[in-house]
Amino acid sequence: MSDFTSGFWPLYISVITALSIIGTWVFIRSQTTRKLQPGEKPELIGHTWDGDLQDFDNPLPRWWLGLFYGTLIFAAVYLVLWPGMGNYAGLLGWTSLQEYEDEVKAAEAKFQPVYAGFMKQDVATVAANPEAHAIGRNLYLTYCSQCHGSDAAGAKGFPNLTDHDWLYGGDADTIRATITDGRAGMMPAMGEALGPEGTKEVANYVLSLSGRKHDARLASAGQQKFADNCAACHMPDGSGMAAMGAPKLTDKVWLYGGSEASIIESIAKGRNGVMPASSQTLGTTSNREAKLHLLTAYIYGLSQQK
């Protein structure tokens, strides 16, 4: 990364930009200064096409040259007023970051009265409010949809937020804590400890817990191995442990896939799931709590619709 933060690159950009503008100006001037003398005929360039279509060495039209020179003048003025020459900030001192921050402040000042009203209501009440739902959806699409999908249905490795299956719990306080602090779920790899055959046996026992198609002989052999290696997190009956984010194995909801091959992969290689904390990304401090409240209500409401 040091190569991209050194002082060479701003200087390189500045020199290339300046030379491009100056070089273009010089090239056009060199090609358009010659004028035909009285009585002199333009020189024929190249060949004749289609019998009478000819290309002569006539000067370029003045209006065309004016437009071309105008773009060069515009480029020079722009680079003086706005940033574009390496580290030079421009006479106007404009930055995209400052413009963004100004827009954020203006928007948050506009919505502050709306936020204040919802902050006085509990999550369940806010979740049922259509206006709050629309605001929460916009927040969700901004901060959460990249992983959980625009419809919140999730994908492989990213939980579905519209059902009643929650790794850490689906009550309002837990959802808020998940959004605020993030989650780091880790299932250790057990392939080396169980061996290929043992892994397959445990996988079939796990399949049997949810009533899926399985090999009864392998499942019977895997029951004790499950108790010895997996029950501490997933509980002896496979009901899971929300405190650790260990999923329930007795239903048909699978974060990484519920086929025998997918379960074998999960057992053998383990899984690492990380959800980043959003406590510092929800805008300025003044409205962060309100956004968190609305986002919590929106996600809470998604699972209450079914």
- DSSP class of residue 102 equals H
Question: Residue 104's pLDDT is what?
Answer: 81
Q: For 37, left (φ over 0), alpha (ψ -120 to 50), or beta? A: beta
What domains are there in the chain, each with its CATH number? 2-81 (no CATH), 97-182+277-304 (1.10.760.10), 185-275 (1.10.760.10)
Secondary element (H or E) of residue 227: helix 216-229
Mind listing the pLDDT tens digit for each residue in 109-150? Answer: 888 888 889 999 999 999 999 999 999 999 999 999 999 999
- In order, the DSSP letters of 142-203 are HHTHHHH-TTS--BTTB--SSSS--SS--SHHHHHHHHHH-EEEEE---HHHHHHHHHHHHH
When pLDDT is averaged across residues 71-88 and rounded to a whole number, the result is: 92
Q: Output the six-digit token pair for 208.
A: 């049997």
- pLDDT band for position 54 (50/70/90)? confident
pLDDT averaged over the chain?
Answer: 89
- pLDDT band for position 1 (50/70/90)? very low
Is residue 249 within 8 Å of residue 238, measured between CB atoms?
yes
Question: Residue 108's pLDDT is what?
Answer: 79
